[in-house]
Structure 1
Amino acid sequence: MGKRIRNLRVKLGLKQQDLASTDISASYISLIESGKRVPSDAVLATLARKLGCSPDHLRTGHDDHVLEDIRLKLSFAEMALRNGDNGAALQSFGELLAKSEVLDRRMELRARIGQATALEKLDRIEAAIPVFEELLKDPALAAGSDEWCRVSVALSRCYRNMGDIALSIEIGERAMTTLDELGLDVTVDHIQVGSTLIGSYFMRGDLTRAHLLAQRLIPVAEEHGGRAGRGAVYWNAGLVALSRRQVPEALALTERALALMADDDNLRHVAILKTNVAWLQLQSDHPDPERALELLEDAGRTLAEVGTGVEQARCEICLIDANTHLGRWDEATAHARRAIGLLSSGPRVEAVGARVRLAELHLLRGETEEGLQALHAATRQLRHFTPSYETAHEWRHLGDVWKRHGRAKEALEAYDQALVATGMPMSYDPARSLARQRG
């Protein structure tokens, strides 16, 4: 940068004194040109005006027209990402990063964040994780900044979606600690990180921590948070209430979250919330499958354009339940097959839920052989997952279906696995010990 400033000054026939001002001495100009000082953004802007170019040209040495093209391409890539055109966004970010020599530090950071976000939205989470991890190590990403917060939240969410709940929580807690250590009051950043952490606590079954964090964040969200931030907190607080079997409270909290976020320009988040509200409608003591179906069909149309495969599959699974409630078994079966197809790219607990629902639809129609095959397939698939609150829920669901259709042995085994997944091991069996001694 110093050489560029000197060469341009000499080319224009200016002396160092000509670049000086009341705030910038000629000796400081000399230090900059010799590479012994790095000018601040304000000083660089002043020098650029006097040299008749842009600050970006002094930083990079590239023609201002080239830099303007890069800025436009970066903006279009970010717009594509917001609009759900994740494949096009990923390609654009990749093309920009392939020419990193023309990017300044800020542009490169934006492109790397965009690339990782596009990978996550395309459900290429294993590829997204190392990019997010490298970003968090980058000193250019200042702790406490908006970008740092978004990257921390995304990395925590990625690990959670991969099933590593412990690491997801560790990242979230570390981010919350960092924000606290900055000495600031609880901020919007706390709300973003905290709402993700609540969801991870919920998935681990750590309901007390989830509840306490929700109680901490709700007043702050009400006072300082935007509609989207407040909606995220109420959304996760609803999950905690549901886990405590407080279905009416969970539904009220999630409905409030939807009302707060309904006008948000993040169509994906609104669609996910509609899916959650519909699911809670179906879980309540007085289900409203017609309203649930309306919400889900609306959410499904949006998620088909801007959602990930997993998010679309979760909507399809709820559509199975809504149509089953209404006795529309053909429609429910079609949604079950679509959900399984959407989840075929990798191991997902949600695929087990879709298979169990498809199995029960076969059994309800008297297609016993197909139903039993699907239940056995779901059982085999579920054994491959690490025990968690989520897998416990699926084991319980599987046991209930076995029980409803007169298979007590299989039901008992599934219930045992559900208890183990919650961290409750089987009790000591003295008869087994005696048998080992006699053997």
Structure 2
Amino acid sequence: MERSSSDGVRSEGTRADGAPNEGVRADDPAEIGRRVLRLRAERGLTQRQLAEPAYTPAYVSTLEAGKVRPSEAALRHLAERLGVGYEELATGRPARLAAGLRLRLTDARRALATGAPGDAAALFRALHEEAVTHELAAEQADALLGLGDCLLESGELTDARDCFAAAERLLADDPLPRRVPAIRGRATAHLLTGELRYACYLLESTLDELNAASLHDPEALLLLYTASIAPYMDMGAHARAAHAAELALALAPGVGDPALVAGMHRGVARTLIAEGRIAEADASLAKAQELYRQLHIRTELAHCHWMRGYVHAQDGDLEQAESELRTARDILASKRAALFTEQVEVELADVLRRRGKTEEAEALLRPLLMSGADGAGDETGALGAGRGAVHAGGAHRLLGLIAEERGDTECAEEHYCAALSLLERSSAAGDLADLCRLLGDLLRRSGRVEAAMDAYRTGLGHRAAPGTTTLGPAPATPPM
């Protein structure tokens, strides 16, 4: 007969920590029976002592043999007699395990906010393994969400997308608002890869599904509307981005999470910049910056410096723009947030070129791109088609301008064409028109009038319907 007692002998269905072996369900009647037997033996109780007064010794014997599935009432009676919690007896999970895991997930989030994504990723992986061992689906999903965010920062976009998709599958039976962070994560991974249209599709279809089901959860809606601003802006859909920003602002008073509110202010600032409302944009960023500083979220704080640098550049204050962008780069580099560091370096290079620091700008840009002018980067280093495609296009555009300024028209044309390929693949209409103008002007000056006309026509095609996308109608507006 299988026995389990305090002398260290255990049944073959469980491990030393009381958790079931791989492939054995923790709530299987045989597994529950083994737990009852082990705990009864450890406490030196007879079957009669455990059973009375509500049950018989024969019932306990049958239960320990795994021949009957105990009711909730029976499990609660047995748990009380054995001095353990109901959940521990029913599932084999140590008491307060889920609560402890959630506290450690919070610690891992704090590690990501203040330190390197690689270090935080190790914590999330360990917590995920522990949650899998104890069949804690919600905690598994939260660990995967945290790991996905780590991988986004370090630029491992395919792995990040897979983490968010796995979290979404784990939460498939949960209400849609619970799955929204995973969907937002997937959309962000596609955005950073350069798949702007698909990022918009994910966010918009989720908004429509929420509204169709009357699931007007303010936090879920705010997260989705805020996340949609960046791909809208990159696609040149400024009107749709501005509408998303208005809805986000209207939702914010009903949201208690300050990190979500800070993200909203940062997203709204981008639409204000596009409208030329520079002072309002800077004020919105200042609000976000203060919230991130209070929350000690360094990556998002760096993003605020990054955007404030962009605001100053748009306003013509290049010295202050350079200072803000260098601050952003230093924070991101210290956190080893590789992809974001590379992206901010592209914008810093733009400011350096405009300030006449051409050699420094070029030295900053060249290591960011794979060799050759096609921008075919990968996910482990350089910017390119599968990693930061929009900023890769921006880097080629800047290198084209630098080449043109020194009279190397052949090199300039190569970089402009590489940028055009990247931006067209990404549907980044917001930058395409300007790039087509640069390429057209270059071709016209070199006497290639027909080719120049083709470039101008391409640019005009991307400006033909400002503020729109080809995604169909915008999501329905939720009731406020």
Partners of 1:418 and 1:412 lie apart in 2 by 10
Query: 2:347 maps to which residue?
Result: 318
Residue 40 of structure 2 corresponds to residue 6 of structure 1: no
TM-score of the aligned structures, taking structure 1 as reference length: 0.76
| Structure 1 residues 329-371: Cα deviation after superposition (integer angstroms, max 9, x where no partner) | 232222223443663465423112112212323443x3x23x6
Partners of 2:101 and 2:247 lie apart in 1 by 43
- Shift in Å, 1:56: 6.5
Query: 1:273 maps to which residue?
Result: 304
Query: 1:239 maps to which residue?
Result: 270
Structure 1 or 2: more helix by fraction: 1
- Shift in Å, 1:34: 3.6
Residue 338 of structure 2 corresponds to residue 297 of structure 1: no
| Structure 1 residues 314-339: Cα deviation after superposition (integer angstroms, max 9, x where no partner) | 21122112223332223222222344
C-alpha contact 1:57 1:64 (8 A) present in aligned 2: yes
Matched residues, percent identical? 18
Instruction: Note the 1:187-266 alignment, pairs <5 A.
Output: 187-222=218-253, 224-247=255-278, 249-266=280-297
Q: Which amino acid aligns with 2:428?
A: E
| Structure 1 residues 289-329: Cα deviation after superposition (integer angstroms, max 9, x where no partner) | 12111211111111113364332122112211222333222
Over 3 Å counting, the alpha-carbon distance change for 1:182 and 1:304 in structure 2 is: same
Query: 1:428 maps to which residue?
Result: none
- Shift in Å, 1:226: 4.2
Residue 374 of structure 2 corresponds to residue 343 of structure 1: no
Partners of 1:375 and 1:309 lie apart in 2 by 29
Partners of 2:319 and 2:276 lie apart in 1 by 23
Of residues 160, 163, 170, the one that matches 1:131 is: 163
Partners of 2:244 and 2:306 lie apart in 1 by 24
Over 3 Å counting, the alpha-carbon distance change for 1:305 and 1:56 in structure 2 is: farther
Residue 195 of structure 2 corresponds to residue 164 of structure 1: yes
- Shift in Å, 1:215: 1.7
C-alpha contact 1:97 1:111 (8 A) present in aligned 2: yes
C-alpha contact 1:396 1:414 (8 A) present in aligned 2: no
Partners of 2:221 and 2:181 lie apart in 1 by 11
Query: 1:435 maps to which residue?
Result: none
Partners of 2:103 and 2:431 lie apart in 1 by 48
Partners of 2:125 and 2:214 lie apart in 1 by 37
Of residues 144, 153, 160, the one that matches 1:112 is: 144
Partners of 2:196 and 2:183 lie apart in 1 by 15
Query: 1:35 maps to which residue?
Result: 69
Q: 5+ unaligned residues in a row in structure 1: which ranges?
A: 21-25, 425-439
| Structure 1 residues 378-415: Cα deviation after superposition (integer angstroms, max 9, x where no partner) | 41353255456624514513633763794574654443
Over 3 Å counting, the alpha-carbon distance change for 1:339 and 1:245 in structure 2 is: farther
C-alpha contact 1:198 1:236 (8 A) present in aligned 2: yes
Query: 2:10 maps to which residue?
Result: none
Partners of 1:19 and 1:326 lie apart in 2 by 85
Of residues 414, 432, 437, the one that matches 1:376 is: 414
- The farther-off stretch of 305-314 and 387-396 is 387-396
Query: 1:419 maps to which residue?
Result: 460
| Structure 1 residues 188-227: Cα deviation after superposition (integer angstroms, max 9, x where no partner) | 2221122112333333333333322322221321453544
Query: 2:14 maps to which residue?
Result: none
Over 3 Å counting, the alpha-carbon distance change for 1:382 and 1:221 in structure 2 is: same
C-alpha contact 2:352 2:361 (8 A) present in aligned 1: yes
- The farther-off stretch of 319-328 and 88-97 is 88-97
Partners of 1:227 and 1:100 lie apart in 2 by 28
**Aligned residue-pair number:** 409
Q: 5+ unaligned residues in a row in structure 2: which ranges?
A: 1-26, 371-380, 466-480
| Structure 1 residues 108-162: Cα deviation after superposition (integer angstroms, max 9, x where no partner) | 333333333333332222222233223223246622555x232121112122222
Partners of 1:48 and 1:180 lie apart in 2 by 44
